[in-house]
Amino acid sequence: MAIEVKVTANFAKLIGGERSTRAEGGTIGEVLDDLDQRHPGFKQNVVAEGRIHRFVNVYLNDEDVRFLQQLDTPISEGDVVSVLPALAGGS
């Protein structure tokens, strides 16, 4: 199924300059794989060696998937996936 994926402004360039796009898959991992197909190189910014980077959070709706089933977290119609890297900016 196709669901919405939102990214922060500094990740927008990885998905063609948009803040939001659609991707398909039954799990978080499949959605990221689908995005990587459409935008080669995207996934390595989020995942390494089968695990989500420790400085990037992926949310299924309002829940951090680290507290669900990580990349295996299943997705339902209408879900929104957010990819959120740590930001250190304060100035």
Q: Footprint of other proteins on this chain (CB under 8 A)?
A: 8-10, 19-20, 53-57, 59, 62-64, 66-67, 82, 84-91
Nearer to other proteins, 54 or 78 (CB): 54
In the complex, the smallest distance separating the C-beta of residue 79 from other proteins, rounded to whole angstroms, is 13
Q: Across the chain, which distance is largest between two alpha carbons, in Å?
A: 41
Token readout for 71 is 């990349």
- Report how far residue 75's alpha carbon sits from residue 80's, in angstroms, rounded to the nearest whole number: 9
Q: How far is it, in rounded angstroms, from Cα 10 to Cα 65?
A: 21
| Phi–psi pair at 2, nearest 5 degrees | -100, 130
Minimum Å gap between C-beta 22 and other proteins is 16
Nearer to other proteins, 78 or 90 (CB): 90
Least spacing, CB of residue 28 vs other proteins, in Å: 14
